[in-house]
């Protein structure tokens, strides 16, 4: 059964469980946040990619308003919740300035295989080490989800959306493992090229071959 949900299309992909900070400056979305505060409603963020509104998005809940500016703009914190698919989009919701639409809720499996997630974490740590990325990763595998690293492993916006659309945890794991195993050799080769480029002009201490 469909349900009406205010919509806030953005050129990003939001994942369930994600903490998302937003700066609100348009009048229509100032009104939306006002309604969230006063009525306790949630809103959906469907991705907007290549000038097209994608069907699958993530419901988000307003966590807090961090700052209110004199001109009415806001800094807010939100948290990703459920997945939905847009059945009917309305550029302007009834009696509102902001967009909305009829949505159907999607059941995404959040349970994932521990061994596969350990592999994803190991591959991600290796990638971070190669790129000198100082980002903290979960130490307890029970607290880890594929969504936790989706923004940090070199996926394009289209690939992030593809990952969002997988309702099976196993599909998300296979997708990330395949991506990381394909990406790491390319990153390693780039690092080797950088090291070789830095050696140009230096005195080389090379051991001649025994011929």
Summarised one tens digit per residue, pLDDT across range 80-123 is 999 999 999 999 999 999 999 999 999 988 789 999 999 999 99
122 and 45 part of one domain: no
Whether 15 is in a domain gets the answer: yes
State how far the Cα of 65 lies from the Cα of 77, in Å rounded to an integer. 6
CATH number at residue 48: 2.30.130.40
Which residues make beta-bridge pairs with 80? Answer: 60
For residues 68 and 143, state if they share a domain: no
Domain boundary among 73, 106, 139: 106
In the predicted structure, residue 164 carries a pLDDT above the cut 90: yes
pLDDT in the model for residue 141: 83
Q: Is 211 inside any structural domain?
A: no
| pLDDT tens sequence across 11-60 | 999 999 999 999 999 999 999 999 999 999 999 999 999 999 999 999 99
In a domain, 61, yes or no: yes
- Model confidence at 202, pLDDT cuts 50, 70, 90, reads low
Examine residue 81 and state whether it is found in any structural domain, yes or no: yes
Q: What is the pLDDT of residue 198?
A: 63
What does the pLDDT read at residue 10? 96
Residue 102 sits in the same domain as residue 118: no
Q: Give the chain's domain count.
A: 2
Range of the domain at 178: 114-199
In a domain, 35, yes or no: yes
- pLDDT of amino acid 211: 61
Q: Residue 128: its pLDDT value, please? A: 93
pLDDT at residue number 201: 52
Pick the last residue of a domain from 57, 77, 106: 106
Specify whether 150 is located in the same domain as 123: yes
Whether 22 and 101 share a structural domain: yes
Question: Over 80: is that where the pLDDT of 151 sits?
Answer: yes
Q: What is the predicted pLDDT for the residue at 136?
A: 86
Q: Which two tokens stand for residue 180?
A: 């990381």
How far apart are alpha carbons 87 and 189 in whole angstroms?
A: 45
Of 47, 82, 106, which residue is a domain's last? Answer: 106
Confidence of residue 200 (pLDDT cuts 50, 70, 90): low
User: Do 8 and 87 reside in the same domain of the chain?
Assistant: yes
- Does residue 209 sit within a domain? no
pTM, 2 dp: 0.87
- Which pLDDT does position 197 carry in this prediction? 65
Residues 15 and 97 reside in one and the same domain: yes
Long-range contacts of 126-131 (CB under 8 A, 24+ apart): 126/184, 127/153, 127/154, 127/180, 127/183, 127/184, 127/187, 128/152, 130/184, 130/187, 130/188, 130/191, 131/187
Q: Is 142 exposed, middle or buried (0-12, 13-18, 19+ CB in 10 A)?
A: exposed
Residue pair 112/172 in contact (Cβ under 8 Å)? The answer is yes
Q: Are residues 175 and 128 in the same domain?
A: yes
Same domain for 100 and 146?
Answer: no
Query: Does one domain contain both 102 and 120?
Result: no
Q: Which residues does residue 103 pair with via DSSP β-bridges, in sequence order?
A: 3, 86
């Amino acid at each position: 059964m469909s349900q009406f949900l205010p919509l806030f299309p953005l050129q990003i992909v939001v994942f369930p469980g994600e903490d998302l900070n937003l700066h609100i400056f348009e009048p229509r979305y100032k009104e939306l946040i006002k309604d969230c505060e006063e009525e306790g409603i949630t809103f959906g963020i469907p991705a907007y990619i290549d000038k097209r509104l994608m069907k699958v998005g993530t419901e988000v809940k307003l966590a807090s308003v961090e700052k209110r500016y004199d001109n009415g703009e806001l800094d807010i914190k939100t948290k990703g919740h459920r997945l939905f698919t847009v059945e009917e989009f309305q550029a302007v919701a009834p009696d509102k300035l902001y967009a909305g639409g009829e949505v159907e809720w999607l059941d995404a499996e959040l349970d994932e295989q521990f061994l596969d997630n350990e592999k994803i974490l190991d591959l991600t740590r290796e990638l971070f080490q190669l790129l000198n990325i100082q980002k903290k990763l979960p130490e307890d595998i029970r607290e880890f989800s594929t969504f936790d690293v989706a923004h940090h492993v070199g996926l394009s916006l289209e690939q992030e959306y593809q990952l969002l659309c997988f309702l099976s945890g196993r599909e998300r794991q296979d997708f990330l493992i395949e991506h990381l195993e394909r990406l790491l050799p390319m990153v390693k080769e780039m690092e080797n090229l950088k090291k070789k480029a830095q050696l140009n002009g230096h005195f080389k201490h090379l051991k001649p071959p025994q011929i």
